[in-house]
Amino acid sequence: AETAAVLQCAGNGRRWMAGEPEGTPWGTGASGCARWGGVRVADLVKLLGGLAAGARYCTAAGAEPVTDPVDRMERSVPVDKALRDALLAVDMNGEPLSLAHGGPLRLIVPGWYAVNSVKYVARLAFTTAESDAAISTIRYRVSPMGAAPSPQHQTCGPMNPKSWLLEPAGHERITPGAVTARGLALGGEHPLSGVEVTADGGQTWQPGRLEPPDLGPFAWRVFTAELELGPGRHVVATRAADASGRRQPRHSEPNDQGYRANGWQELAVTLEVVAG
């Protein structure tokens, strides 16, 4: 089986979030899209005779050695998500999965933040409760500013709709006239339904054009838009929408660790258009 999916760090975009949250100050570089090949979790479960009664989570444990068991790499996802979409991958883009990308065996949870796609899988279990590893209970939890994360806070699960510009990047000289904007967009947990582009800081929007190829509901898409820019300053931004009706907000939801950034204002590019 094969699925194309974006893997995105939950802290991708943290650099621009309010409050200067702790963690690596990622821009948009902590993300990628690939074709993952392997065995669907649902097919494996069927082959082994089905689930035991009461199973609520699919819990994957990585093989990284740790001195304290609480620091082990172990994440749980709801069993229905695992059976619907998850894949145990052994190759990436048609090549054997490298150690750097989580090989020889990696759980891929399409549409969810990359922390759930556990590398170096040593064990896959179907459990009645979520893992009690720290990376599940207190890390990757979306807590309010100044609040210590805990199991009561929402985990970094489904990705939000998100888009950003690749070009123009805002540092080259722009002359008045037609400018082609180009960027990337993803729907996250739900398929991408469209992208809009603004050149006036959100006062007006125009539809972007989704370019081929379409690799599936969990892959990102390249989009383009033709902008007509006169002399002066232009704030160019993009906003994605998914098939469930969610749309990229103006501002990211503030949180203590700077997770799930997707505000279009923070990702906007300011262009200075100069005549001559």
Query: How many angstroms from the chain centroid is the CA of residue 165?
Result: 16
pTM of the model: 0.94
Nearest of 46, 73, 49 to residue 59 by alpha carbon: 73
Q: What element of type H or E holds 121? A: strand 121-127
Domain span at residue 234 reads 162-273
Residue that finishes a domain, picked among 155, 175, 191:
155
Please work out, in degrees rounded to the nearest 5, the angle formed at the alpha carbon of residue 24 by the alpha carbons of 23 and 25.
Answer: 110
139 and 66 in a common domain: yes
201 and 69 in a common domain: no
Helix (H, G, I), strand (E, B) or coil at 70: helix
Return the residue matching tokens 């950003």: 164
Tens digit of pLDDT at every position of the chain (276 positions): 999 999 999 999 999 998 888 889 999 999 999 999 999 999 999 999 999 999 999 999 999 999 998 999 999 999 999 999 999 999 999 999 999 999 999 999 999 999 999 999 999 999 999 999 999 999 999 999 989 999 999 999 999 999 999 999 877 778 899 999 999 999 999 999 999 999 999 999 999 999 999 999 999 999 999 999 999 999 999 999 999 999 999 999 999 999 999 999 999 999 999 886
Dihedral sign from CA coordinates of 83, 99, 74, 244:
negative
Q: Tally the domains of the chain.
A: 2
71 and 133 in a common domain: yes
113 and 23 in a common domain: yes
Q: How far apart are CA 190 and CA 210, in angstroms?
A: 16
197 and 241 in a common domain: yes
Q: What element of type H or E holds 134? A: helix 134-137
User: What CATH number should be reported for the domain holding residue 135?
Assistant: 3.90.420.10
